[in-house]
Amino acid sequence: MTPHVVISDAKSTTVDHDLQRDILERYGAKAKSTITRTEDALLEELGDVAGLIVDAGVPVTARVLENAPSLEVVGRAGIGVDNVDLEAAADLGVTVVHNPTYSIDEVATHALSLLLACVRRVPTYDRQTRSKGWDWAEGQPVRRLQGSTIGFLGFGKIPRRLATMIQGFGCELLAHDPYLTENVVRTHNVELVGFEELLSRVDFLSIHVPYTDETEAMIDADALATMSDDAVLVNTARGPVVDTESLVVALEAGAIDFAGLDVTDPEPLPDDHPLLGLENAVVTPHVGWYSEASREQLSEEIAEDVGRVLIGETPRNEVTTDTQWV
């Protein structure tokens, strides 16, 4: 019997659906594409489906898994799996795979781009020039990057790549990651510090932790108050790690200087959300993962891993509740 696979995105086409269908056919599976954003919509698509490929916005909850008795494998097209109930999947014998390496360079580059845009006031100057202005003082004060302190909240593969990129700027580098040893961090010329110390010492904070119960709203009003009023915050990890309401208040009050966000909570932001009206915030639509090369790699490798599970082979990138995020 031919196994069926549903490829479902919450928005448009995170993965290349045509490429994935071709790959899955080589594994003897037949695939169809759909857009789903809710449990009910997803359940309508599953039926006797054996494989499911989703992006970050498709809720693969315990309810979904319990009502998909033929489901053997869920492929999360990306790194984070916070939208997949891993415990329920394990209880039901459903294999979950992801791709932990496809966009390391892209996300690190995007984080650096947001950081530099904030430091150099690129959004401010761009808006001014488009409004027929030409005044260097419009972005005051602009600080020199050299000699500043950059901190990483979480120090897995992406921030390690980012730390390598930043080495030439002449900055002090700090990191907080309770799951790493000091020796690992020191090999990247980064000092391992506690959470409070990180916040109090940094000029620029780049967030790189997964979204878990432990990290939800980790950057809240108290954390923001610990940072200096000229600090810059960059988030390319997950939106709920930062308490959005507290961030807006801090930016409006000048309690921190600037924010560069590729992820938000909620996501996408409503048209009238206050973040979109702030002059000291730059927001991009969760595109840090994207390049043509990363999209092709993601599409291929997720489809191949789903195909492996369907023919009884061991997947290359299985993720479980015990997976270490490093």
Range of lowest pLDDT (86-90, 165-169, 186-190, 307-311): 186-190
Q: Measure the CA–CA gap between 28 and 127, rounded to whole angstroms.
A: 53
Q: Residue range 27-51: average pLDDT?
A: 94
Q: Domains, the chain, ranges and CATH?
A: 4-102+291-310 (3.40.50.720), 104-283 (3.40.50.720)
Q: Measure the CA–CA gap between 159 and 157, rounded to whole angstroms.
A: 6
Task: Give the DSSP H or E segment for 149.
Answer: strand 149-153
- Contact predicate 184/206, CB 8 Å: no
DSSP states of 168-196 as a string? GG--EEEEE-TTS-HHHHHTTT-EE--HH
- Please list the active-site residues: 238, 267, 286
Q: Residue range 206-219: average pLDDT?
A: 96
pLDDT at 100: 93
pLDDT at 185: 83
Q: Give me Rg for the CA atoms of the chain.
A: 21
DSSP type of residue 80: -
Give the model's confidence band at 27: pLDDT under 50 very low, under 70 low, under 90 confident, else very high.
very high
Task: Give the pLDDT confidence of 232-247 residue by residue, as tens digits.
Answer: 999 999 999 999 999 9
Give the model's confidence band at 155: pLDDT under 50 very low, under 70 low, under 90 confident, else very high.
very high
pLDDT at 184: 82
* pLDDT tops 70 at residue 97: yes
Average pLDDT, the chain: 95
Task: Give the pLDDT confidence of 292-320 residue by residue, as tens digits.
Answer: 999 999 999 999 999 999 999 999 999 99
3 state SS of 117: helix
